[in-house]
Homo-oligomer: A and B are copies of this chain.
Amino acid sequence: MNTTTSTHGTLTLSADDGVLFVKISAPPLNQLGPELVSDLVELIQTLDTGTPHKVVVFSSADPEFFISHVDLDKVTEYRQAAAALTGEASIALLFRRLSQTKAVTIAQIEGRVRGAGSEFVMSCDMRFAAKETAIFNQNEGGMGALPGGGAIQYLTSLMSRGRALEVLLAAEDHNADIAELYGWINRAIPQAEIADFVSKMAYRIARFPTHGLRQIKARVNHLTLRPTDNFREDSDAFSAGIKDPESQVVIKKAIAKGFGSSRAAELRLGEVLGED
């Protein structure tokens, strides 16, 4: 091993034997805001311009939150930050672009992924989640909007119409076992084993010939990624949806209860959204 570690804003990078370990650290809640988006943009650019990293593993520095959701105070800013990569102010297109990076991407999920957090991990090539700590929620429906980061596109590819509708319409917190049953993730792995499990798989893949890995990923993407236009439309519909008067009432109520600010409320956000 010959690990080198460096910090780039919200991301801590450790490179080793063809694998790049990327730890997300955007305290206090690992929200997806302009800084994290900018750092992801830079990372994707690096991955696609001649780096030796064949495999990227994403994990979180916060054991309770992988990525909580977007920072609703900075929608314009984080969307603008995404435009630096794709030319368009859309998180959905950023995530779709991440699905197409040449490197193989693996999400090692401990703690909560909600909203754009769920969309981020779905845009990775594979997802493994800690049985005891991972929590999943595509919560936008509970706040009056459709998800704008590609959730509708990814969820309807990963699971049946019935399960996708449940996830989107009921906006509940789900544990890793349900996520595994529904196909939201590849597999639920015991918390004590997940880091070893994922890094072992990452090193294994990184030893295989580059040409074959890239060709496989490109072919699978060709068959499974939904059209760009779909992602763009969802992105626009989200921006419009959160401005709807009925949605604004619900969003303001959620913010008053601690959405985006209170760690206690965020820990049990699924319940909070269902309360009066």
Contact = CB atoms under 8 A, between A and B. Distances in A.
A180 B183 contact: no
Contacts of A170: 201, 204-205
A152 B220 contact: yes
Given A152-B216, A181-B180, A215-B237, A207 B274 contact: yes
A160 interface: yes
Given A141-B208, A144-B211, A161 B157 contact: yes
A169 B104 contact: yes
B274 A162 contact: no
A209 B144 contact: yes
Given A156-B223, A156-B224, A216-B146, A209 B246 contact: yes
A274 B205 CA distance: 8
B209 A169 contact: no
- Chain A's interface size range is 35 or more
Given A125-B165, A211-B246, 18 more contacts: A104-B169, A125-B166, A126-B163, A144-B208, A146-B216, A158-B160, A159-B183, A161-B224, A164-B220, A169-B213, A204-B274, A207-B274, A208-B250, A210-B246, A211-B244, A211-B247, A215-B237, A223-B226
Contacts of A247: 209, 211-212
